[in-house]
Structure 1
Amino acid sequence: MSNAFSIVCKATQLILLSIKKLQESKPHESKEKAMEAEGRFYGHGNTFQSVEYCNRKGRQEQKVVSDLDGTLLRSSNAFPYYMLVGFKAFGILRFTLLLLCSPIAWLLYCFVSDSAAIKLLIFVAYAGLKEKEIDSVARAVLPKFNLADIHPHTWRAFSSFKYRCLLTATPRLFVEPFSREYLCAGLVLGTELEFTKSGRATGSVKSPGVLVGTNKDDVLHRQFGGKQPDVGLGDRPSDHPFMQRCKEGYLVRKQSNIIALDQSELPKQIVFHDGRLVRRPTPGWALIILPWLPIGLL
């Protein structure tokens, strides 16, 4: 009995360690954070200023393209939103499966590619869902958590433009309702899910795949043709390709102490949300509450 308990404790410690790493940036990304006192970032031969230096005047007729996680949102970790899909659409079993996949996702993220990790999470979270169900989940749970995580500097720059485009690796069907309704984005470009003839998600993604790195740049080029967007906003080296396509590019600094935007500054506030989820479901939080769920159901 004691041996079994010891094994469980060690397994829990391993999962918690993996979860901590999942929430952090890639090891090699720290080398990309070179920044001078005036707020300039360097990457791939280009210099980008911090988003605080973006001039917001006279932008009413210009176009802005922004990443979502880590840019418009303070958190760069999209994993909690896949947990939301799993819980809302399938209940505790899919929620648990996603939690168990978190160490694998972290390994893929660090040692294979961003795309491989996101593909795993998309498969586990979305496989079997209908398009209407994805839309329903997005409208029910996403606004509450995203509106509490808006990056103030990015929003003030983003909102100064009349034509707003969101460019993200997250599945478009999941982020589009929130982005259009609450961020007033006129165009949302995200990873496209693949569906069966019966209308259920296969868990795979359509070409060109997950929108990271050069895939973002390719999609943006096809959308705008030979025209350059005026401003590109991103937060990591993989955003540099699409930012270079824009006339101006600004990077969002990683600041752990940044305070979220006051929701009164947004064009629309949330009226109702699904009250069953009161906290953003990070892997660590999920691992803590999971053993108590059977007791809560009694």
Structure 2
Amino acid sequence: MAFLSFAGVKVESFRIGRTVLPKFFLEDVGYEGFDMVMACGRKIGVSDLPRVMVDGFLRYYLGTDEVVGRELKVVCGYFVGLMEAKKASKACFDEISGKHKMDSDVIAFGCLNKSLNQQFFSHCKAIYLVSEEEKRNWHILPRKKYPTPLIFHDGRLAFRPTPLATLAMFMWIPFGFILFLIRTILRLLLPYKLSIPILSLTGRAALFQNQILLFLNSTAKKNQMVNSMFATIRHCLIQSMLQLPS
């Protein structure tokens, strides 16, 4: 999954970790667990997911000070889709403890069915493990309780990779490709005035409406600028004529 998601993606242009993934992560946050985490002072997140996927969510929405996760291999500024060798627990703990002074009152939250990181948990005063049954009884975190407002731009292209949604996507690919070819051929062969109503029947009406509105708005702005410029020139000429000696 990591290879399919990251292979060939430029590191600097990776935005999904800060725009799309937080939406889905926040939908899985339990109200009860959120209150416990936010009541803590300094927070350190430990995840088996690639760090680049969870770093933005944990830092921006949960106020995490440090994030520990798997690193992805990068070649010439591009992800290759492969994981770096997993760091030893002691090395991760030494790195974090060097950046942040560990207090004596350290509390750990984790899932019961996940592999426990003994090196981290051995320094915790208390450990709270949550089972899947307990998580199902939790309430979903309301949007008004989000620490930072969630701005999500396009929900059509981003969806949860559930089995049913993934199956629907792969079933739609051949139909979508055929529809793309039909639209392209009609757009190239038919006159512009004739292609607009025909393509609108295939779901392109909104796009053409937006393009027309953008064109009209840009034209109106240009005309307004030209009229303003001529008005300024006319005013300057009148002022200069009035100042001429009789």
Shared fold by TM > 0.5? yes
Aligned twin of 2:171: 291
How far off is 1:185 after superposition?
1.2
Aligned twin of 1:232: 108
| C-alpha separation in 2, matches of 1:178 and 1:237 | 20
Question: Which region of structure 1 is more displaced relative to structure 2, 268-277 or 216-225?
Answer: 216-225
Residues 20, 158 of structure 2: 8 Å contact kept: no
Residue 219 of structure 1 aligns to a residue whose secondary structure is helix
> Among 74, 85, 90, which residue is 1:195 paired with?
74
Is 1:206 aligned to residue 84 of structure 2? Answer: yes
In the alignment, residue 190 of structure 1 is paired with which amino acid?
A: G
Aligned-residue CA RMSD (Å) = 2.4
Aligned twin of 1:275: 155
Aligned twin of 2:26: 147
| C-alpha separation in 2, matches of 1:187 and 1:240 | 16
CA gap of 1:190–1:240, structure 2 versus 1, over 3 A, is closer
Structure 2 segments unaligned to the other structure (5+ residues): 180-246
CA gap of 1:133–1:200, structure 2 versus 1, over 3 A, is same
Could you list the per-position Cα deviations for residues 5-51 of structure 1 after superposition, in whole angstroms to 9, with x for gaps in the alignment?
xxxxxxxxxxxxxxxxxxxxxxxxxxxxxxxxxxxxxxxxxxxxxxx
Which structure: greater helix fraction? 2
Correspondences of 1:69-148 after superposition (within 5 Å): 121-134=1-14, 136-148=15-27
TM-score (norm 2): 0.61
CA gap of 1:217–1:122, structure 2 versus 1, over 3 A, is farther
| C-alpha separation in 2, matches of 1:232 and 1:140 | 28
| C-alpha separation in 2, matches of 1:217 and 1:262 | 37
Aligned twin of 1:94: none
Could you list the per-position Cα deviations for residues 203-241 of structure 1 after superposition, in whole angstroms to 9, with x for gaps in the alignment?
2222335xxxxx456513431159467011110341252
Is 1:244 aligned to residue 122 of structure 2? Answer: yes
Could you list the per-position Cα deviations for residues 244-297 of structure 1 after superposition, in whole angstroms to 9, with x for gaps in the alignment?
332211101213343311122221121233222464221332113421243345
Residues 168, 189 of structure 1: 8 Å contact kept: yes
CA gap of 1:281–1:266, structure 2 versus 1, over 3 A, is same
In the alignment, residue 3 of structure 2 is paired with which amino acid?
A: F
Residues 89, 117 of structure 2: 8 Å contact kept: no
Could you list the per-position Cα deviations for residues 61-91 of structure 1 after superposition, in whole angstroms to 9, with x for gaps in the alignment?
xxxxxxxxxxxxxxxxxxxxxxxxxxxxxxx
Residue 140 of structure 2 aligns to a residue whose secondary structure is coil
Residues 46, 68 of structure 2: 8 Å contact kept: yes
Residues 106, 123 of structure 2: 8 Å contact kept: no
TM-score (norm 1): 0.51
Residue 23 of structure 2 aligns to a residue whose secondary structure is helix
> Among 164, 183, 186, which residue is 2:62 paired with?
183
| C-alpha separation in 2, matches of 1:217 and 1:239 | 14
More contact order relative to length (CA 8 Å, sep ≥ 6): 1
Is 1:264 aligned to residue 137 of structure 2? Answer: no
CA gap of 1:283–1:221, structure 2 versus 1, over 3 A, is farther
Residues 182, 268 of structure 1: 8 Å contact kept: yes
Aligned twin of 2:228: none
Residues 59, 65 of structure 2: 8 Å contact kept: yes
Aligned twin of 1:23: none
Aligned twin of 1:161: 40
The runs of 4+ residues in structure 1 deviating greater than 6 Å are none
Residue 166 of structure 1 aligns to a residue whose secondary structure is strand
| C-alpha separation in 2, matches of 1:127 and 1:291 | 23
Structure 1 segments unaligned to the other structure (5+ residues): 1-120, 210-214
Could you list the per-position Cα deviations for residues 138-192 of structure 1 after superposition, in whole angstroms to 9, with x for gaps in the alignment?
1231122122211222211110012111111111122112221111112111111
Aligned twin of 1:220: 93
Residue 238 of structure 1 aligns to a residue whose secondary structure is coil
